[in-house]
Structure 1
Amino acid sequence: MMHQPPSNAAGAGQIPSGQQQLWMMMQQQQQQRQSAPPLGQQQQYGAGSQNPGSAGEVKSLWIGDLQQWMDESYIMGIFAQSGEALSAKVIRNKLTGQSEGYGFIEFISQSVAERVLQTYNGAKMPSCEQTFRLNWAQAGAGERRQTEGADYTIFVGDLAPEVTDQMLTDTFKSVYGTVKGAKVVIDRGTGRSKGYGFVRFADETEQMRAMNEMNGQFCSTRPMRIGPAANKNPLQMQPAMYQNTQGGHAGDSDPNNTTIFVGGLDANVTDEELKSIFGQFGELIHVKIPPGKRCGFVQFANRANAEHALSVLNGTQLGGQSIRLSWGRSPNKQPDQAQWNGGGPGGYYGYPPQQQGGYEPYGYAPPASQDPNAYYGGGYTGYGNYPQQRQ
């Protein structure tokens, strides 16, 4: 027998007008994300290998949100008694050797893999308070089985340190029947909650109700702060969307950095338009689109506001294009202020040449260790960098 997962437990404040305006603006601008999840994670490990089993059978699952101590032995140990897992692989950074927070498990047949997916996904993992995050390792199988429909998601901030995925789910599930799940974002370095999370719904009406009705309501010992998070349609719900729930942007290493790189801009977008969009999240110090470049830079006065903006706006539509956000470089580490104008020997502000790699000099921000999208398809879009709760 496999290790048996435990069964899942099954007058409000008004949302600030500024957040409501932002919500409406995002709904108008963001009909659908332009890019599909990267195939890199799906292909790094023998997803859908052919033997044993029928030709073309997909027998591998993607597993995400892995903590640093969760290695191949831990994963295989979960399924060891049944002998139905053939192998496991945790993807590691080639330079540091550290886990990237995800991996793959190959089973003896597609039917076994599907049973594991249906049984374990969302259940508590052994020896920790974390839940399984599983999906098909190959897009085709996941798409064939994607019957859940679209996800409609909200951001939940100011969470108490003790709040878990299940506690957050139960708080909303007790009021809204279409809640599909919740995720508390964990700091990869400390293993502790960052003080925020996401709740996804199957019904847009209940999502909108929760935006208004649950703001200021308590989860455990603290009132929640509710905000918008981008939605995704079913075709976009792939394993890569679980990513970054434990951080992962390079800028996380500098808590004083408040500069965001904005790539993929339409040629007609102006500095003022960037100010109007990003200014919804807090005070701005500087906004600049270098002449002739399809990228820009936004510097906030406050780190938490920058993190919130990066998470919510990454991948949203602006001027008909899907923008890509990543951390720039802190001004106190930038020797040549001319780079705000796209000049200087260091390349663009925040990204010297060695960091740009083979990317075009405009269009996309250099990638983080995992694609800066979010858990559950955008349903938890851009989760990875909401402001960490100050304890």
Structure 2
Amino acid sequence: MSSVPVAERNQDATIYVGGLDERVNETILWELFVQAGPVVNVHQPKDRVTINHQGYGFVEFLTEEDADYAIKIMNMIKLYGKPIRVNKASAHQKNLDVGANLFIGNLDPEVDEKLLYDTFSAFGVILQTPKIMRDPDSGNSKGYAFINFANFDGSDTALEAMNGQYLCNRPITVSYAFKKESKGERHGSAAERLLAAQNPLSHSDKPHTLDIYKKSYKPA
């Protein structure tokens, strides 16, 4: 039941399962959803501090039809007395995108997507695999990346803790990314934060975050 990186999943055949009781684990999810169709992978993101899952998970089916059928028959059924929410993972991520998008600059060429994910997921839920901009011909990093958090608590904490910290022997810069199709306006505005505060999904996936950070941050 190995976890597959978000980028390698078939998103059209992957469902989001939310509202999970703390007793639910990946085995239980597998046994529940295999009743709807062949399951390829089950993943429950875990909090880096408490090691507990965060009340939601992803189930990848063999086909999109199986995923659609699972949504149809499993949404709002009760698991340990709590109704679960089931919908397409891609739709969930779109709903969760509140604008908590960070720009990470001055990256060492050795920094890859996994290192960025492992480093920054300590601060909050990351919606997608971090996007390192690469040269289309050589595949080499251009030295900067984007990370999309589920809420501003995570992105604010990451910015405060990681801006100027060393990653692979090079100090990185962390700031809010510029909005697409905007004239110099960055994410993280008061308007975005107000909308995010009204988004119930962003609250349901709010992780436990660290309160104390060491000045010299070295990822494991």
TM-score band, normalised by the shorter chain? Answer: 0.3 to 0.5
Larger Rg: 1
Per the normalisation by structure 1, the TM-score is 0.26
Per the normalisation by structure 2, the TM-score is 0.43
